Structure 1
Amino acid sequence: MTSFPLPLRLLILALSFEIQAVLAVTTITNVTVDDQDPAILYSPEDWNTTEAYNSLDYGGYHHLSGQSSAFAIFNFTGVAIYFLSPLWPYAVGARLVLDGQIPPVFVDLQDHSQPVNSTGGAETVSSAVVWGFENLTLGNHSLQVEFAQGQSQYVVVDAFM
């Protein structure tokens, strides 16, 4: 068996640790943040939260507002962001603004497979990813969820990933 000289063995060992460090840094993990998490700022502060547990919501609950001034801000560090929400049998939606980019994106959260329920009601489709943005530069970002004036009756926050 051939033995490498000590300087070469040390170099190989150092490169091995360097490669392991790079691999450890590039590991990407999805983290889901529920609507109840204090990392989400709601304004005005009087958003409604569901009182009864519903298995169609991520974590059992969601935040809802019918106020035209309503918005929520979620600041995060990462390379992607996903917006999770159930669907409803009436006009629910959200305008999403990522890192202040204009124009915002409208996300329709109405379950169009159901007859429209003009009096509201509970979710009809389980919470899932309804919008996402990938390939962000690794760093700090902000997603603002706003009431979609003229496009929906309510804005909802259920979870972010």
Structure 2
Amino acid sequence: MRNIVLHLFFFLGPLLFAPVLAKYRNVTVDNTDPSIQYVGDWNQCSLNIGASYDGTRNCTGQQDATATFTFTGVAIYYISPLIGNRTTVLTLDSGPSVLVNLTQAQGQNPNWAIRWGASGLDNGPHTLVNYGSSNTTSSAVGEVDAFIYTVVEQDHNLAAIVGGAVAGAAALASVGACCIFGQSLADWLRQLVCFSPICHK
């Protein structure tokens, strides 16, 4: 029983205490990116075009028009300038409709910015849809300027550093455990290399 405990601690300890090492990167997708799938009558906007990201955006007032963007990540942000008295409708992963206010108040800077976002998503595929118009409000139109989504990347350099540190700490702790159980380090290392009945005959 003593040997089993020592072996389990050595092999499973790093897995139990190793942190999840990841870094996050934001990716910006402009309205002209082919990953955005447009259905219906979408055109280049003219109102407040200078306030748009990269100087362009697509618009539509057609009710059945959609712009669909599929991405893999943990967050998504909708980018748009402010445009007079306008709103737009979004859905994420076929969820409830979200009405995003794009109305420019008096004296307000109209330049593009994040107007809506969702974070803390499962790290997997997601679908954001922008609709051409809405039955609930006459001010809703389709407005696609840009999207920003956040991807998770493994930080291999940091993982190697922390993995080495965790393995070293586990080794030191295992030596201490040998002392607690009254087993010599030499005997424990021999059993670690060959942990089977034939090695102990």
Q: Which bin holds the TM-score, normalised by the shorter protein? A: 0.7 to 0.9
Counting matched residue pairs gives 130
> Does residue 110 of the first structure (1) align with residue 103 of the second (2)?
yes
**CA gap 1:130/1:52 in 2 versus in 1, 3 angstroms:** closer
1:97 to 85, 91, 96: 91
Give the residue type in structure 1 aligned to 2:146.
Answer: A
Distance (whole Å) between structure 2 residues aligned to residue 131 and residue 153 of structure 1: 15
Matched with 2:44 is 49
TM-aligned CA deviation for residue 153 of structure 1: 4.9
> Does residue 149 of the first structure (1) align with residue 135 of the second (2)?
yes
1:34 to 17, 30, 35: 30
Q: 1:94 touches 1:155 (CA, 8 Å); kept in 2?
A: yes
TM-score, L = length of structure 1 = 0.72
> Does residue 130 of the first structure (1) align with residue 115 of the second (2)?
yes
TM-score, L = length of structure 2 = 0.58
**CA gap 1:94/1:153 in 2 versus in 1, 3 angstroms:** closer
RMSD over equivalenced CA pairs, Å: 2.4
Distance (whole Å) between structure 2 residues aligned to residue 40 and residue 55 of structure 1: 22
Give the residue type in structure 1 aligned to 2:123.
Answer: L
Q: Give SS of 2:54's match.
A: helix
TM-aligned CA deviation for residue 51 of structure 1: 6.6
Matched with 2:145 is 158
Give the residue type in structure 1 aligned to 2:103.
Answer: Q
Distance (whole Å) between structure 1 residues aligned to residue 53 and residue 136 of structure 2: 27
Matched with 1:120 is none
Higher radius of gyration, 1 or 2: 2
Q: 2:49 touches 2:57 (CA, 8 Å); kept in 1?
A: no
Q: 2:89 touches 2:140 (CA, 8 Å); kept in 1?
A: no
**CA gap 1:52/1:64 in 2 versus in 1, 3 angstroms:** closer
Distance (whole Å) between structure 2 residues aligned to residue 160 and residue 36 of structure 1: 11
Q: 1:53 touches 1:60 (CA, 8 Å); kept in 2?
A: no
Matched with 1:63 is 58
Structure number with the higher helix fraction is 2
Q: Give SS of 2:51's match.
A: coil
TM-aligned CA deviation for residue 93 of structure 1: 1.7
Distance (whole Å) between structure 1 residues aligned to residue 87 and residue 134 of structure 2: 6
Distance (whole Å) between structure 2 residues aligned to residue 106 and residue 153 of structure 1: 8
Q: Give SS of 1:55's match.
A: helix
> Where in structure 2 are there 5+ consecutive unaligned residues?
1-9, 149-201
Give the residue type in structure 1 aligned to 2:64.
Answer: S
